[in-house]
Amino acid sequence: MDIIYPLAVPKGRRLCCEVCEAPAERVCTACTVTYYCGVVHQRADWSSIHEKICQLLIPLRTSMPFYNSEEERQHGLQQLRQRQKHLIEFCYTVAQKYLFEGKHEAAVPAALHSLRFRMNVHGLSSVELVPAYLLLAEASLGLGQIVQAEEYLSQAQWTVLKSTECRYATHSLLHRNLGLLYIAKENYEEARYHLANDIYFASCAFGTEDIRTSGGYFHLANIFHGLKKLDLADTLYTKVSAIWSKYLNDRYQVLSRARIQQVDLLGKRFETDTGLDEAQEAEAIQILTSIWNIRESTSNTAPQKTIFVLKTLFMLYYLMMNSSKAQEYAMRAFNLAKEQHLSVHEQNTIEELLSLISAEEAHPIT
Ligand SMILES: [Zn+2]
Ligand SMILES: [Zn+2]
């Protein structure tokens, strides 16, 4: 629904653009509760997030119906909060996914929505606002708007400082983004300090070997790689690959068995089975493919390391139900193992992966 009509603003009511808060001149005709300064912001919002939440906004933005009793009113309020909370999470995940895919511009409207819903539900100084500030900071960094990124980050830092109930996970995210800011400013000393803090807080929240801790190690590795401290980078990349490999392998072991049984018994297809949300899947792809690209350059001297990442990518795509990509990575691993004359055992294990996919293709799952 991309049709736009100029808006006749009733006298005395000031309506604001969804994206920039300038006076509005247009309305979305599909929901009639969302306004824009012009066609540019309407299009940007539509393709970022509005298309996905247009209809969900109607009950949030139309005035509350008349209730017969206090009980009904409370119930109505509770439902409204529930809807707002759902939208907070939804917009957050959408924005995060764009960021991992490198689509910084598209992430902005979605992140702004997450921020506004948070303000409505939790108030202006709540730590619940911090994750949205961090998304906006990351998007700004990606767009090269360093000053804007710093503003969002200082908002986030200030909110965290004032708060007494801030979770480790939030501290970790804040430091990760500060780390990325200083990487963008080429101040690697500061960046390392913040990434070390990110790893510390993420470890407190999730443990040292958790996929949510791996992001800090990954960015730290990138710094060392950029500074040509290749040994340190190598150790950290190995750690990151190992964390993801273990996580995916655990799920893979259980699910590959379950999936084949399921196919045989019911002929039914599973949904994606990574146990990750869309943003985490996008993060996994980003981290693992960039480690793979780095490993490629040392494939001749350390083929095992490349193969390890390729197998991890195979498991990821296999669990994401993308069998052509999974097959592609298994083939790459297989060819590399052959080229480099790796042990027969290594070649066999990769052949098993390939046969798993062809087994599924032989029993088309519908
Ligand atoms: Zn605007
Ligand atoms: Zn709409």
Q: State the distance from the centre of ligand 1 to the C-alpha of 84, rounded, in angstroms.
A: 22
Instruction: Write out the two tokens for 139.
Output: 């998007």
* 36: β partners: 26
How far apart are the C-alpha atoms of 236 and 279, rounded to whole Å? 22
Residues 28, 50 contacting (CB under 8 angstroms): yes
pLDDT at 358: 65
Order of strands, sheet of 4-6, starting from the edge strand that comes earlier in the sequence: 4-6, 26-28, 35-36
Residues 270, 303 contacting (CB under 8 angstroms): no
How far apart are the C-alpha atoms of 318 and 259, rounded to whole Å? 11
In tens digits, the chain (366 residues) has pLDDT values of 444 444 444 444 568 898 888 999 999 999 999 999 999 999 999 999 999 999 989 888 887 667 788 888 888 888 888 888 999 999 999 999 899 888 999 999 999 999 999 998 999 889 899 999 999 999 999 999 999 999 999 999 999 888 877 789 889 999 999 999 999 889 999 999 999 999 999 999 999 999 999 999 999 999 999 999 999 999 999 999 999 999 999 888 877 666 655 554 444 444 567 888 888 888 999 999 999 999 998 888 888 899 999 999 999 998 888 889 999 999 899 888 888 877 767 777 777 777 766 666 555 443
Q: State the distance from the centre of ligand 1 to the C-alpha of 250, rounded, in angstroms.
A: 47
How far apart are the C-alpha atoms of 356 and 359, rounded to whole Å? 5
Q: State the distance from the centre of ligand 2 to the C-alpha of 359, rounded, in angstroms.
A: 45
How far apart are the C-alpha atoms of 311 and 353, rounded to whole Å? 9
How far apart are the C-alpha atoms of 25 and 16, rounded to whole Å? 9
Q: State the distance from the centre of ligand 1 to the C-alpha of 28, rounded, in angstroms.
A: 13
Q: State the distance from the centre of ligand 2 to the C-alpha of 57, rounded, in angstroms.
A: 7
Residue length, the chain? 366
Cα dihedral 167, 173, 179, 182, rounded to 10, equals -100
pLDDT at 163: 81
Q: State the distance from the centre of ligand 2 to the C-alpha of 94, rounded, in angstroms.
A: 17
* 27: β partners: 5, 35
Q: State the distance from the centre of ligand 2 to the C-alpha of 47, rounded, in angstroms.
A: 11
Residue 4: strand, helix, or coil: strand
pLDDT at 364: 46
Q: For residue 8, which phi and psi values (nearest 5 degrees)?
A: -95, 105
Residues 290, 219 contacting (CB under 8 angstroms): no
Q: State the distance from the centre of ligand 2 to the C-alpha of 113, rounded, in angstroms.
A: 13
Residues 194, 176 contacting (CB under 8 angstroms): yes
The number of the ligand nearest the C-alpha atom of 29 reads: 2
pLDDT at 154: 94
pLDDT at 125: 86
pLDDT at 198: 96
Q: Please state, in angstroms and as integers, the Cα–Cα distance from residue 151 to each residue in 145, 178, 249, following that order.
A: 10, 11, 41
pLDDT at 351: 74
pLDDT at 64: 67
Residues 253, 352 contacting (CB under 8 angstroms): no
Q: State the distance from the centre of ligand 2 to the C-alpha of 148, rounded, in angstroms.
A: 28
pTM of the model: 0.76
Q: Which of 82, 182, 166 is nearest to 131 (CA)?
A: 166
Q: Are strands 26-28 and 4-6 parallel, antiparallel or unpaired?
A: antiparallel
Q: State the distance from the centre of ligand 1 to the C-alpha of 45, rounded, in angstroms.
A: 9
How far apart are the C-alpha atoms of 328 and 321, rounded to whole Å? 13
pLDDT at 323: 86
Residues 269, 365 contacting (CB under 8 angstroms): yes
pLDDT at 300: 81
